[in-house]
Amino acid sequence: MPFYSSRPNRTPRSPNPDNSVSTPLDVDNGELKYQISLKTRLLNDIFGNNGDLWLGYTQISHWQILNSQQSRPFRETNYAPDANLMFSTNFPLWGWNARMLGVGLVHQSNGRSNPLSRSWNRATATLALERENWTVTLRPWWRVLEFGEDNNADISDYMGRGEMEIVHVRDDMQFALNLRHSLRGGDRSHGAVQFDWAIPLAPPLRMHVQLFNGYGESLIDYNHRAWYAGVGLSLIEWY
């Protein structure tokens, strides 16, 4: 999708001096954003007739396609392989039907060298609730520290310690609201909100509208706040 930022991050920074840019980058407000996500079930019914192990991979790229002065570079690409052990459930909770529980591990990095290197690892828990045409997914996580130098020590205070995604399907249209927060107060209180709207065109092709406000739209922007907006195309459901 063509993607617009209200405030491009021209001086990415981190508490680690080796991961802070001293000379502003030549970055345009407009770019192209695309996402590729894959997942497959590696093992099923690990514990009797329940418990499936899923492997996944997501890649999101931001392409400065209009920035001819800088030879139209890819500003940022984030790579996120993950593994999740998921259990099907069926019990009432808070007036909803709890349909899924899971635990997982995810690594996310941008594969770059200093000063632009960013990465982190997380252990996650997942609870998915359903009611009629609504789905709510709660996903807290805990950062798993890496060996060696930490290039974004404060990332949990910006990218958050958990998220809630609310999805509603109506007349074949899909609406999703994703909320993230650091779960801390004062100067450590940060978060983000993302809204997605998918409108059927010629199934499975959909027009896709995305709005984002807050911190961490990409890893290089983990502690940078801005508005982002895009209109593009999507092929599959994202939840």
CA angle 69, 72, 74 (to 5 degrees): 135
Distance CA 196, CA 67 (A): 26
DSSP secondary structure code for residue 153 in this structure: T
Active site residue 224: no
Pairing of strands 191-202, 173-181: antiparallel
Catalytic option among 20, 107, 168, 181: 107
Asked if 202 contacts 227 with a C-beta cutoff of 8 angstroms, the reply is no
Here the tokens at position 47 are: 């514990």
- For residues 59-84, b (16+ Cβ closer than 10 Å) or e, as one string? ebbbbbeebeeeeeeebbbbbbebeb
- DSSP annotation string for 84-144: EEEEEEEEEETTEEEEEEEEEEEEEE----TTS--EEEEEEEEEEEEETTEEEEEEEEEEE
Cα→Cα distances 136→97, 100, 130, 133, 228, Å: 10, 11, 6, 10, 24
Catalytic option among 5, 14, 62, 109: 109
Cis peptide before 12 (omega within 30 of 0): no
Active site residue 109: yes
Q: Which residues are catalytic?
A: 107, 109
